[in-house]
Amino acid sequence: MDWEEQLSQAGWRITTPRRVVMQVLEQAARPLSPQEIHARGHRLHRSLGLVSVYRALAALERAGLVRRVHREDRCNSYVLASPGHHHLLLCRRCGRTVEFPGTEDLSSLIAQVEQQTGFRVEDHLLQLVGLCAPCRNL
């Protein structure tokens, strides 16, 4: 299933900004900020505005097609997301990311936190940070 089918099945329309953002991210070798996506997308589609890029990213993230990369400088960037439960490993030096399957078992942690706080936990965010192999050898 390609991303357009995935988006339609999730009940989202395929709009020009969403298509351009996906096209830019499919060609990207590393995570891109909304400004970088806008600069590249603008070359493909002249009337693409930055606000449309932000809106497209929000929709694509909610539909599970892109993933937000949380960085120490608080400047978020985005990569394509594989379907299903995955998390990201971020290289803090070069900014490259790798996805890994979310097979972790948080059930005992969640049970403990729920008991201590009275919350009902619904979801989690997890991102690992480190140095990739080339950066380790610098």
* 135 binds Zn ion, rule: CB under 5 A: yes
Comparing CA positions, the residue from 80, 114, 111, 73 lying closest to residue 95 is 73
Q: E strands along the chain, which residues?
A: 66-69, 77-80, 86-91, 97-101, 127-130
> In the numeric block, which tokens belong to residue 37?
């996506």
- Residue number with CB closer to Zn ion (14 or 100): 100
- Is residue 60 classed exposed, middle or buried when 0-12, 13-18 and 19+ CB atoms within 10 A define those classes? buried
* 94 binds Zn ion, rule: CB under 5 A: yes
Whole-number minimum distance, CB 80 to Zn ion, in Å?
Answer: 18
* 130 binds Zn ion, rule: CB under 5 A: no
Q: How many of the other CB atoms lie within 10 Å of CB of 90? A: 22
* 101 binds Zn ion, rule: CB under 5 A: no
Candidate ranges 17-25, 73-81, 100-108, 112-120; the one touching Zn ion (CB under 5 A): 100-108
Whole-number minimum distance, CB 82 to Zn ion, in Å?
Answer: 13
Provide the binding-site residues for Zn ion, judged by CB under 5 A: 91, 93-94, 102, 132, 135
